[in-house]
Structure 1
Amino acid sequence: MDLVTPGLGLIFWQAITFLLVLFLLSKFAWKPIMSSLKEREETIEGALRSAEQAKQEMMKLKADNEKLLDEARAERDLMMRKAQQTADAIVEEAKEKASAESSKIVESARLAIQSERQAALEDIRKQVATLSIEIAEKLLRNQLKEERAQRELVNQLVKESNLV
């Protein structure tokens, strides 16, 4: 059983070695390890704070973007309404111009028709007068073939004219 239980001297030297290693580690290793752990912890906390700030800024930017989008939509709607009003005004103006132009054309055509009608009536009057003269001439020639008829006509015209 001696093999299983350690001796008192061995336990003493192991305890002293352990305490010495513990002292050396606490003197030289624990401080740098602890300071690096603390530094790492602070870095992580700083990164978390930065992440939280970035998250807050992202939310603020998102809100600003939404506001800008709403403003852009409102401006777009306003521009669309103005464009529609302008288009309606242009269409209305074009209708009015077309109506005025068609009225001018109708009036011009009416005047042209009226002047053509007057010219045609004047031409018909001239033709009727010419035909009347020709018919009268032919009738007079037939009636005045004899000399006696010619004299009677001259005497009758002289009486009617009150020259005698």
Structure 2
Amino acid sequence: MLTQLFFFVVLLFLLRKYAWGPLMNVMKEREDHIANEIDIAEKNREQAEKASKEAADELKKTRQEAQHLIDEAKKAGQKQEQDIIAAAREASERIKQAAQEEIQQEKEKAIKALQDQVATLSVQIATKVIEKEINAQDQEKLINEYIKEVGEER
């Protein structure tokens, strides 16, 4: 029994030295490797969360900038619309004023032409009256003829 105990102790010693030590070293390396992988995974997760948060913040900022640009474009469009309307009103007012001036000029020309015709007719009537002495009936007839002529010339 002592021999068996001796061999058992020797066997334990040999197992510990050649089997248990390397096995424990392999297990320790495996444990360290797994712990290292867990740490790396945790760091990667934290970096991913940080990157996700940064991306969300950047997206929010971009949306705000886009909304700001849209608002500015709307304001610029409204201002341009108002400017175009004001310019159109000014142009229509100028055209209206020019048309009124032209109408007034044409009216004055027509009045002047009518005055000239009346003066010419008056001279012609006076000439005819002087050329021939006529009674009231003939004079009335002569005036009606000249009025008729003036109406036809028009």
TM-score bracket for this pair, using the shorter chain length? 0.7 to 0.9
Instruction: Write the letter of the residue equivalent to 2:88.
Output: A
- What is the rounded CA distance, in whole Å, between the counterparts of 1:15 and 1:132 in structure 2? 167
- What is the rounded CA distance, in whole Å, between the counterparts of 2:10 and 2:67 in structure 1? 82
Instruction: Write the letter of the residue equivalent to 2:100.
Output: R
Report how many aligned residue pairs link the two structures: 134
Structure 1 stretch displaced more, 123-132 or 91-100: 123-132
Question: Would you identify which runs of 4 or more consecutive aligned residues in structure 1 move more than 6 Å?
Answer: 12-19
Match of 2:102 in 1: 112
Deviation at 1:139, TM superposition (A): 1.2
Instruction: Write the letter of the residue equivalent to 1:137.
Output: T
The answer to which structure, 1 or 2, has the higher relative contact order (CA under 8 A, 6+ apart) is 2
Listed as ranges, the gaps of 5+ residues in structure 2 are 135-154
Deviation at 1:30, TM superposition (A): 2.4
- What is the rounded CA distance, in whole Å, between the counterparts of 1:123 and 1:15 in structure 2? 154
Listed as ranges, the gaps of 5+ residues in structure 1 are 1-11, 145-164
Instruction: Write the letter of the residue equivalent to 1:74.
Output: Q
Deviation at 1:24, TM superposition (A): 3.5
Instruction: Write the letter of the residue equivalent to 2:103.
Output: I
RMSD: 2.4
2:50 matches 1:60: yes
SS in structure 2 at match of 1:47: helix
- What is the rounded CA distance, in whole Å, between the counterparts of 1:125 and 1:93 in structure 2? 48
Instruction: Write the letter of the residue equivalent to 1:114.
Output: Q
- What is the rounded CA distance, in whole Å, between the counterparts of 2:65 and 2:104 in structure 1? 57
SS in structure 2 at match of 1:143: coil
Percent of aligned positions that are identical:
30
Match of 2:71 in 1: 81
SS in structure 1 at match of 2:132: helix
**Larger Cα-atom Rg:** 1
- What is the rounded CA distance, in whole Å, between the counterparts of 2:42 and 2:58 in structure 1? 24
